[in-house]
Amino acid sequence: MKIRHGALLLALLLGLLLPAPARAATQPDPIVFVHGYSAPTSVWDEWIADFEADGYAADRLFTFDYDSTRSNATTAAQLADYVRSVRAETGADKVDLVTHSMGSLNSRYYLKFLGGTQYVDRYVSLAGPNHGTSTALLCAWLYTSCSEMVAGSDFLTTLNAGDETPGGTAYFTFRSTCDQYINPDDSTVLAGAVNATSGCRTHSDMNDDYDVYVQVRDVLE
């Protein structure tokens, strides 16, 4: 009996003194970056470098490219395929979407109408023309995607009908008070989202400025 009690006491002491086995680090959601109208994927290069510097693995950061002259509904279907491929490659259940400008619209269409809320954990809209912008009138006659960005378009009316932030996805928007392309500035705001202002910045600053990056990084963490 004494030996049994002694062995038990020794085991308890060892449990207290020896460090617990290290837990495997939890991988962050892969991030899919979606550019805006007529922009290349390279617009995300600075932020990708920033995410890597802050501990994200390069194989968790993806840029989605598309033909920005086509309908946002068409692009949304392509985004659905892309997210599916990212999930298959990384083994992740869900991704985070970080979008800029018109990329906010095709991404929201994917979330709302193509089942995207099942596979997107957090969604970020940077300077998105979510309720239209007057500058789209300059190219509305030329491309379908531009006409869809005009306030009151059939596309936006459908996209914004009912719940603007459906499903279990967490929605965040960031807007500038000096955006020369999103007019009015508060077009970006979504009912049900966490909506923030990032001060006075140009439209292109909204997805390459370091201070805005920090705001986005913090909501993704």
pLDDT value for 23? 34
pLDDT at 20: 43
Question: Along the 221 residues of the chain, how does pLDDT read in single tens digits?
Answer: 444 444 434 443 444 444 444 333 578 999 999 999 999 999 999 999 999 999 999 999 999 999 999 999 999 999 999 999 999 999 999 999 999 999 999 999 999 999 999 999 999 999 999 999 999 999 999 999 999 999 999 999 999 999 999 999 999 999 999 999 999 999 999 999 999 999 999 999 999 999 999 999 999 98
pTM for this model (two decimals): 0.88
Long-range pairs, 149-158, Cβ under 8 A, ≥24? 149/37, 149/102, 149/105, 151/187, 155/71, 155/72, 155/73, 155/105, 156/105, 156/130, 156/131, 156/132
Residue 24's pLDDT is 36
Q: Which pLDDT score is estimated for 96?
A: 98
pLDDT at 26: 78
